[in-house]
Structure 1
Amino acid sequence: MIKEWATVVSWQNGEALVSCDVKSSCSSCASRAGCGSRVLNKLGPQTEHTIAVPSSEPLAVGQKVELGIAESSLLGSAVLVYMTPLAGLFLMAALFQGLFSTDLAAVCGALLGGVGGFLIARGLSPRLSRRQTWQPVILSVGLAPDALRVDTSPAAEQK
């Protein structure tokens, strides 16, 4: 199970809308100057992901929840997104090369296969995302934001 903490944005009728922060892979190693990931992370927008998760217990806005998703569903979605266009690219390039015996035909077949694989992945993903095993679940719930109060007055320090 892959786990991540999220913040509750709203809760209505047994469904919580939670926001997960995008974490960059940078700032965790010493090679910041020559890191390609760091450059790419600076180019893209630093946004949040908001998702709906079923929750039977009421949640307060700002409350932290731990979400979990099965590794198999995450790996399955990664295979669908990355391997389907790649497989289409290679299959159609080989088919066009075999049929027409030119490199231009192979390139055209590769382009068609890559786009076709992308469209297949795009068409399958909504159906697969409805599966119960592919849905994130709430594993644990943190305290509500107003449930804990720290008293820093001088009277509290004398006790």
Structure 2
Amino acid sequence: MIKEWATVVSWQSGEALLSCDVKASCSSCASRAGCGSRILNKLGPQTTHTLSVACDTPLVAGQKVELGLAEGSLIGSALLVYISPLAGLFLVSALFQALFGTNLAAICGAVLGGVGGFLIARACSLKLSRRESWQPVILSIALPPHAFRVETITSAEGQ
């Protein structure tokens, strides 16, 4: 189970709207200075992801919850997103090369296959996203922001 903390934006009738911060995968790597991924992450927009998760427990805005996502769903969606366009690119490019025998046809086939693979991945992801096993679940709920209070008591001995 992959775990991540999220912040509650709102809760209404058993449905929690959660906000997750985008984190760079290489923020604590030893080779930060020469990492191309780190530079690309700095260039991109620093956004948050908003998602809706079923939750029977009433939640308040600002409350933290721990989300869990099954590894199988993450691996399956990554394979779908990366392999479908790549397979379409190679297969249609090879088909066009065999049919027409020119490099221009192979390039056109590669573009068509890549776009077609992307569209297939998009259609499949919509169907797969409805599976119960692919949905994030709330594993634990932290205290509401107003429930934790710190009081400082000053000592009267010095007066």
| Superposed pair shares fold, TM > 0.5 | yes
Matches of residues 129-144 of structure 1 in structure 2 within 5 Å? 129-144=129-144
For residues 139 and 155 of structure 1, the distance between their equivalents in structure 2, rounded to whole angstroms, comes to 41
Cα displacement (A) at 1:20:
0.4
For residue 72 of structure 2, give the secondary structure of its aligned residue in structure 1: helix
1:25 matched residue in structure 2: 25
1:113 to partner: Cα distance: 0.3
Count of matched residue pairs: 156
Task: Give distance in 1, aligned partners of 2:91 and 2:27.
Answer: 40
Q: Matched residues, percent identical?
A: 74
Q: Deviations over 1:84-118 (max 9, x none)?
A: 00000010011111111111111111111001001
> In structure 2, what is the Cα distance between the partners aligned to 1:70 and 1:139?
12
Gap regions ≥5 residues in structure 1 = none
C-alpha distance in structure 1 between counterparts of 2:137 and 2:92, whole Å: 39
Quote the offset at 1:155 in angstroms: 4.7
Distance 1:132 1:107, change over 3 A: same
Mapping for residues 111-150 of structure 1, pairs under 5 Å = 111-150=111-150
Could you tell me how far apart the structure 2 residues matched to 1:84 and 1:27 are? Answer: 29
Whole-angstrom distance in 2 between the partners of 1:153 and 1:146: 19
AA aligned to 2:23 is K
C-alpha distance in 2, partners of 1:84/1:4? 27
State how far apart, in whole Å, the 2-side matches of 1:129 and 1:29 are: 32
Q: Which amino acid aligns with 1:114?
A: G
1:48-69 deviation per Cα after TM superposition (whole angstroms, max 9, x unaligned): 0010000001011111100001
Q: Deviations over 1:6-31 (max 9, x none)?
A: 01000000000010011113441333
Alignment TM-score, normalising by the size of structure 2: 0.93
Distance 1:98 1:58 in 2: 61
Matches within 5 A, 1:59-98: 59-98=59-98
1:36-75 equivalent positions in 2, closer than 5 A: 36-75=36-75
Mapped partners of 1:137, 1:72: distance in 2: 14
Q: Which runs of 4+ in 1 moved over 2 A?
A: 29-33
Helix, strand or coil at the partner of 2:53 = strand
Whole-angstrom distance in 1 between the partners of 2:35 and 2:69: 29
Structure 2: state its 5+ residue gaps: none
Q: What TM-score results when the alignment is normalised by the length of structure 1?
A: 0.93
Structure 1 distance, partners of 2:5, 2:118, is 31
